[in-house]
Amino acid sequence: MQFTKMQGCGNDYIYVDCFRQPMPHDPPALSRAISDRHFGVGGDGLILICPSDKADARMRMYNADGSESEMCGNGIRCVAKFVYDRGLVRKSPLTIETGRGVLTLEVEVSGGTVRQVRVDMGEPILQAESIPTTLGGTPPLEAALDLGDQTLRVTCVSMGNPHCVAFVDEITDGHVLGLGRRIERHAAFPRRVNAEFVRVNRPDDVTMRVWERGSGETLACGTGACAVAVAGHLTGRTQRRITVHLLGGDLQLDWSEVDNRVYMTGPAVEVFRGEWPA
């Protein structure tokens, strides 16, 4: 099986072209094996690039633990680069089908290859039951999340996948590695959740670390950055247009007043290609 390793702000996945080769017979098992950083290729998960009857291509995304997720913001930028650079779809904008629906992406090309992608991530989902979470509010704003030994104030948003955002004075390993794994599987989140910890530097500039559902801490999370932009504005901390600094790089976010949609701009990079034994 041919594969391509790609990353967006250090959020790295193994990509498989299912236009030109068969769909893997057991994607969850493949994701667990190929994502292993010691015994596999190494990555935050597996992304299959498939034909679609409603868009230019379809993205199916599996976390490192084999669970399938609805959406990945950094991953979809790399899908756009893959389909454009490989000649599957040579246009801009292009459309990608995801578990969130069909998204539109504009590619920035230099020297014949995609360097950066702007993604229309759609409108944020703010209804608690649709996020989903049992915390109260539409959306839950600064809601009290009982962690047993402490209570954390959180704001919850979905970008097609669920996010729990906590604003803190300083982001520590205790937050991300300690509380993050507990928040992911908290009873308040019936489909588990991604946990973001955020320091506001200025109204247009924040720093973020993330514990991703099914993968643990990653260097970046595109949908998480979108959720942070929404949560920051809803709680009065940030403007609608912000820069988000992640461990793997920066993303530009714009929650538009005109159409209520979140636009994310960031890099897409091919790392290497290889062959995985069947």
| Catalytic annotation, pick one of 9, 72, 156, 226 | 72
Is position 156 annotated as part of the catalytic site?
no
CA angle 229, 103, 24 (to 5 degrees): 115
- CB neighbours of residue 26 within 10 Å: 10
- Give the pLDDT confidence score for residue 118 in this predicted structure: 98
- Give the pLDDT confidence score for residue 231 in this predicted structure: 98
Is-contact 70 131, C-beta < 8 A?
no
Enter the tokens of residue 212: 């991703």
As a whole number of angstroms, the distance between CA 41 and CA 27 comes to 15
As a whole number of angstroms, the distance between CA 225 and CA 20 comes to 33
Q: What is the pLDDT of residues 107-127, one digit of tens each?
A: 999 999 999 999 999 999 999
Enter the tokens of residue 117: 């992608």
Which residues, at least 6 apart from 93, have a Cβ–Cβ distance to it below 8 Å? 104, 105, 106, 107
Which residues, at least 6 apart from 58, have a Cβ–Cβ distance to it below 8 Å? 49, 50, 51, 52, 96, 97, 98
Is-contact 20 261, C-beta < 8 A?
no
pLDDT tens digit at each of 278 positions of the chain: 999 999 999 999 999 999 999 999 999 999 999 999 999 999 999 999 999 999 999 999 999 999 999 999 999 999 999 999 999 999 999 999 999 899 999 999 999 999 999 999 999 999 999 999 999 999 999 999 999 999 999 999 999 999 999 999 999 999 999 999 999 999 999 999 999 999 999 999 999 999 999 999 999 999 999 999 999 999 999 999 999 999 999 999 999 999 999 999 999 999 999 999 97
Is position 221 annotated as part of the catalytic site?
yes
Enter the pTM of the model. 0.92
Q: What is the pLDDT of residues 11-24, one digit of tens each?
A: 999 999 999 999 99
- Give the pLDDT confidence score for residue 174 in this predicted structure: 96
As a whole number of angstroms, the distance between CA 266 and CA 4 comes to 19
- Give the pLDDT confidence score for residue 278 in this predicted structure: 72
Enter the tokens of residue 99: 């578990």
- Give the pLDDT confidence score for residue 33 in this predicted structure: 98
Is-contact 121 223, C-beta < 8 A?
yes
Q: Give, in order, the Cα–Cα distances in Å from 241 to each of 3, 25, 178, 216, 268.
A: 36, 42, 30, 28, 21
CA dihedral 63, 64, 66, 68 (to 10 degrees): 0
| Catalytic annotation, pick one of 156, 164, 221, 226 | 221
Q: Which residue ranges form the domains of the chain, and what is each CATH number?
A: 2-122+266-275 (3.10.310.10), 128-260 (3.10.310.10)
Strand-pair category, 94-98 with 101-110: antiparallel
